[in-house]
Amino acid sequence: MSAKILVALGGNAILTKDASDVAQKEALRKTCKQLIKFVKKGNKLVISHGNGPQVGNLLLQQAAGSTKDNPSMPIDTAVAMTEGSIGYWLQNALDEQLECNNLKQSAAAVITQVIVNPNDPSFKNPSKPIGTFYSHQEAKQIKEKNSEFKLVEDSGRGYRRVVPSPQPLVIKESKIIKAIMESGNIPIAVGGGGTPVVESGDRLIGKEAVIDKDFSSEKLAELINVDKLIILTAVDNVYLNFNMPNQKKLEKVEVSEIKKYIEQGEFASGSMLPKVQSAVRFVENSKKPNAEAVITSLNNIEDYLTKGAGTIIKKSID
Ligand SMILES: Nc1ncnc2c1ncn2[C@@H]1O[C@H](COP(=O)(O)OP(=O)(O)O)[C@@H](O)[C@H]1O
Ligand SMILES: NC(=O)OP(=O)(O)O
């Protein structure tokens, strides 16, 4: 049966090792060969994506080339710039797949503003890792040059800059995104979590932060009332005791059960935890009684569609 689906793309769908535009465009062409399977089954699709590596790299480029007459841009603008660049690559690659499959729809990237609370605690406690990984020595040198930067060790992979990451409250462009989806075309939205803004009278003012794209995707999925939120990442399933000899794959799981695993600290913060939290929020807040959140990999899409593979979270599993 066809459904309305929001698919959130993880980092490996866009950037593996090579950060050149050629490599990222190629990665997205491969990604779209998988995504088109949803469209061919008659589903209505909305796509979101991350930007952590790209926005970090862009801020470094900006800082390196900045002069008084050509100043570097603040983080909210850099987020919008990466929404633009990744959105362009993605709509280009999706349109190619739609064309190859004789499908009449088009893809369109929507620069999305996401309203956040100016008093969100994350503004005082930056936690979102962005950009490249540094050795301990490199991290020390960066800190000496930029005393305002906070760097933290990220899951044994090296040190990364962290920036504030407030919770998304309202997706400003949700109605237009919904209209594009309902028309049968494919909106690409809340890229990089969307551009963080705060309300100030009649205006929306940018805030320097990077919103977690899984949380923004969840908020959008709720607002536009999709049936399914599918979070694609590098693993086919969520695991208990992840990476341990006794790791256990989660397949179909009720929301009440996965909430217990969250409490037991099963999921790493900054990687799997926001995905599982977003899945729980979607299933609990959705107006659809059968709302389904799925966490799986790009390469597992075929098996999800044909056999229900992946980690599937619902209110009740029949
Ligand atoms: N309990 C868990 N089950 C599965 N994967 C986990 C778990 N805890 C941490 N991970 C890791 O989290 C990664 C997904 O987070 P991340 O790489 O930050 O996401 P993204 O795909 O959005 O860039 C997985 O590829 C896996 O390595
Ligand atoms: N904005 C965001 O969450 O990006 P990543 O998923 O790439 O970290």
- Quickly state the pLDDT bin for 33 (edges 50, 70, 90): very high
Q: 20-32, pLDDT tens digit by residue?
A: 999 999 999 999 9
The total number of residues shown for the chain amounts to 318
pLDDT of the residue at 210 = 98
CA gap 306, 244 in Å, rounded:
29
pLDDT of the residue at 145 = 85
- 275 is known as an active-site residue: yes
Which atom of ligand 1 lies nearest, measured to the CA of 50? 22
Higher pLDDT, residue 144 or 113: 113
Q: Which helix (H) or strand (E) holds 53?
A: helix 52-65
- 11 is known as an active-site residue: yes
Mean pLDDT of 204-220: 98
Does the structure show a pLDDT above 90 at 114?
yes
Q: How many angstroms is it from 124 CA to the middle of ligand 1? A: 26
Average confidence score pLDDT of the chain: 95
Higher pLDDT, residue 158 or 91: 91
Does the structure show a pLDDT above 90 at 4?
yes
pLDDT of the residue at 289 = 93
pLDDT of the residue at 146 = 84
CA gap 122, 263 in Å, rounded:
21
Contacts of 93 (CB under 8 A, 6+ apart): 25, 28, 29, 31, 32
Dihedral sign computed on CA atoms, order 75, 86, 48, 177: positive
Contact (Cβ atoms closer than 8 angstroms) between residue 64 and residue 24: no
Nearest ligand for residue 50 CA: 2
pLDDT of the residue at 67 = 94
Mean pLDDT of 243-258: 97
Contact (Cβ atoms closer than 8 angstroms) between residue 180 and residue 48: no
How far is it between the farthest Cα atoms of the chain?
63
- 175 is known as an active-site residue: no
Q: Is the CB of 187 under 6 A from ligand 2?
A: no
Active-site hit among 4, 44, 128, 219: 128
Output the six-digit token pair for 29: 């062409």
Residue whose CB lies within 8 A of the most ligand 2 atoms, among 213, 231, 232, for a mutation test? 213
Q: Is the CB of 274 under 6 A from ligand 2?
A: no
Does the structure show a pLDDT above 80 at 239?
yes
Which atom of ligand 1 lies nearest, measured to the CA of 231? 22
Which residues surround ligand 1 with Cβ inside 6 Å? 10-12, 50, 233-235, 238-239, 242, 266-268, 271-272
Q: How many angstroms is it from 73 CA to the middle of ligand 1? A: 30
CA gap 24, 28 in Å, rounded:
6
Nearest ligand for residue 160 CA: 2
Angle CA 295–182–300, to nearest 5: 25
Output the six-digit token pair for 177: 């995104």
Mean pLDDT of 244-264: 97
Mean pLDDT of 267-283: 94
Does the structure show a pLDDT above 80 at 155?
no
pLDDT of the residue at 168 = 98
Q: 306-316, pLDDT tens digit by residue?
A: 999 999 999 99
Which atom of ligand 2 lies nearest, measured to the CA of 52? 7
Does the structure show a pLDDT above 80 at 85?
yes
Mean pLDDT of 296-313: 96
Q: 64-79, pLDDT tens digit by residue?
A: 989 999 999 999 999 9
Q: Which residues pair with 75 in a beta bridge?
A: none
Which atom of ligand 2 lies nearest, measured to the CA of 213? 3
Closest CA to 263 of 271, 253, 273, 278: 273
Angle formed by the axes of helices 255-263 and 272-285, nearest 10°: 140
Does the structure show a pLDDT above 90 at 269?
no
The neighbour count for residue 247, using CB atoms within 10 Å, is 11
pTM above 0.90, yes or no: yes
